């Protein structure tokens, strides 16, 4: 497996713009980020500074989230949020511009919570429209969208791989796939073995953390190594994102990798 480091959760001991350099110093050649800005439409100078932090570190950017709203306050994406179309569209344009400069071709489009006062069916229809537009834009640079089931967010409607596939199937786009996050699927009690056995070819990206706690592999009960072995055996050959909260300093959380970086 090839591993990348999610720098929105790891190396948070450092300012965001120094984390790519730290990942490289720790032996990694690839990174991923959630949306790395405070707003949906940061200025050119802020974007340029972010891009430079990645290029100067000498690492590849393999995955990037679109703007997902106020995550600390509980927002989990804008795809289905009626009335926030411009924010999402702005972030899609900026993300694709960053991707063209850094080579990233995978974009996490968090679906969004059920919003009080909005009809869930109307939100779902809105989500299909916004995903279709984003997928069309991503296709122009050979990119893919990934749809992620989440745990710990009561108003987020996609909880299992089946929930995500239902959206993907309705959308009918070849460049939209599942974000296979072992932590979220494990917490939600999904049948991970069945997803691997039946849908490995529809996985666009993988992320890992142990259950419970969301810490590094080996701190919980999830057979992460076993699941990754099965994924590889089923043909998955893309990156695996380390998207955990380190138990202790980040650099001390990599012992389970046994030299594989």
Is residue 243 part of the annotated active site? The answer reads yes
Burial class (CB in 10 A: 0-12, 13-18, 19+), 16: middle
Cα–Cα dist 195/206, whole Å: 12
Q: Which of 100, 243, 247, 252 is catalytic?
A: 243
Tell me if 196 sits within 8 A of 230, measured CB to CB.
Answer: yes
Q: Kindly name the residue from 13, 32, 87, 148 that is annotated as catalytic.
A: 148
**Could you tell me the two tokens for 233?**
């055996």
Phi, psi of 175 (to 5 degrees): -105, 35
Burial 207-226 (b: 16+ CB within 10 A, else e): bbbbbeebbbbebbebebee
For the annotated catalytic residues, the residue numbers are 148, 243
């Amino acid at each position: 497996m090839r591993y990348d480091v999610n720098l929105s959760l790891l190396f948070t001991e450092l300012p965001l713009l120094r984390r790519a350099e730290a990942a490289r110093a720790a032996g990694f050649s690839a990174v991923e980020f959630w949306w790395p800005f405070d707003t949906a439409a940061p200025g050119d100078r802020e974007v340029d500074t972010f891009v430079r932090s990645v290029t100067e570190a000498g690492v590849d950017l393999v995955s990037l989230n679109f703007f997902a709203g106020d995550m600390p306050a509980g927002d989990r994406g804008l795809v289905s949020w009626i009335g926030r179309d411009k924010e999402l569209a702005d972030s899609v344009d900026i993300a694709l511009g960053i991707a063209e400069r850094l080579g990233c071709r995978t974009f996490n489009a968090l679906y969004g919570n059920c919003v009080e006062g909005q009809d869930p069916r109307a939100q779902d229809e809105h989500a299909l429209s916004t995903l279709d537009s984003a997928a069309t834009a991503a296709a122009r640079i050979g990119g893919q969208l990934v749809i992620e089931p989440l745990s710990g967010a009561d108003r987020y409607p996609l909880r299992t791989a089946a929930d995500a596939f239902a959206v993907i199937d309705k959308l009918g786009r070849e460049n939209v796939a599942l974000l296979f996050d072992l932590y979220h699927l494990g917490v939600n009690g999904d049948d991970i073995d069945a997803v691997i056995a039946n849908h490995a070819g529809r996985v666009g990206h993988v992320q890992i953390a142990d259950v419970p706690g969301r810490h590094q592999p080996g701190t919980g009960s999830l057979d992460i190594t076993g699941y990754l072995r099965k994924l590889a055996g089923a043909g998955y050959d893309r990156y695996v994102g380390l998207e955990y909260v380190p138990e202790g300093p980040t650099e001390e959380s990599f012992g389970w990798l046994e030299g594989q970086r």
